[in-house]
Structure 1
Amino acid sequence: MANFYLVEELADATVGGLVTVAGPEAKHIATVSRTRVGEPLLVGNGRGLVVSGVAESVAPASVEVRVDEVRRADAASPAIRLAQALAKGDRDELAIQAATELGVDGVIPWQAERSVSRWAGPKLEKGRERWATIVREAVKQSMRPWAPEVAQLASTKQLSELAATHRVLVLEPTAQHPITSITPDGRDLLLVVGPEGGIAPAELDQLQAAGAELVRLGDSVLRTSTAGPAAIAVLSAALRRW
């Protein structure tokens, strides 16, 4: 199977033409994957464009791909976005990695009341950049034509405001209705996942007052690292993406 690389600057490509891969991606192709001339490669721009071809020339500074096929994929609609609460250790990172592989269309880091991890000062942009790197690598691993956007850190108030444009589903173990009871209605979906200690009652009230729906994933309580990906799998089936 051909390896997949992201070149955000890739704007157009034609069958029979050449696509150039430079920078860290070229170095990875040449020195890590040890790709040889004539071997297949996939190159995408993260915005729906994917070209397949064979390596015409390979060097750490630049790789040229002779294009065999050009594919343009539409963005998924309705979209599924994940508001993932910051969590200790790498549990939030595991969540967004798996969510990306499973098809999430956008990721929102959420500073929940009970989040042990805090993004402030220099950590604010550093944390977002770290998440963006994780998402980018997961896109490459899963060979997705569209790369999810990682938004700026959001507060509970900002998540509540998104109920004006999204159907907000809050994962809550004590909720009356299971997520499998949800029937998609055409609106973009926003999944809200709390930290290790759960979502604080005041936050649940605020989200519900804005129109959010509380749903549960079965009778067990999942870790914050697995709840979001599990819900995305359920919704992907309901939306007939799978």
Structure 2
Amino acid sequence: MARIKVLEYTFENETIKIPVNVSVNGVFSCSIPHLMAQKLGLEKNDLLGSKLSDVEDVLNSAFYEYKQRSTKTRMMVAISFKATRNFMMDEKGNPHPAFDMFFDSSRWADEYYDRISFGYRILLEESINGTRFYYDARQREQVSSTILENKIIPESRQCEGWVGIHSTTISSTEKIIMPYSEKLVENLESIKQQLRNASNFLSELLSASNREELLVSDNFKLLK
């Protein structure tokens, strides 16, 4: 397969070079990054054609239409929560109304060892004509000045003092996605602190030299 031409485009402040090859059978082809293909609205990231112009026309049209599209950005928070069966039941053994949404049915989640998994992350959401893309976000002051000064990250991925660093996808455990606010993050941190307190309490209790005495005591005090 021989390279016959390199196409150049500007995409998100970067010069993108796309080599076009031709096979011994006269088939012209090129490949572009998967995320770029998604943003350009292409069904596949591998393009084929019987003529060079077949490939060029598809890319030229896709890049032109991309530049005409409406792009909106906003900050979001993705919340992840999963719990095993006994943490999803009430005192009567009935499943919580949100059982199906948050029940952890993974292989390691057996009934003898109950687990809770909780966390969140801040994302930059980029919407291009209604199609959403997500980026792990960092506060602007946490991003290298070289990256910002050289405009390696386009302005479309900078919002409200945050910068979208790496492309990401929403995990199957991140069932709640909400608009970002400082109060939301403050309250989520409060929940994490309560879980951290429980973890520290158990760590101290079970590592104590007199743990057996404490665990069978009539004066046993639970975590407040």
Task: Give the structure-2-normalised TM-score.
Answer: 0.23
- Structure with more contact order per residue of length (Cα contacts < 8 Å, sep ≥ 6): 1
When Rg is computed on C-alpha atoms for both structures, the one with the higher figure is 2
Task: Give the structure-1-normalised TM-score.
Answer: 0.21
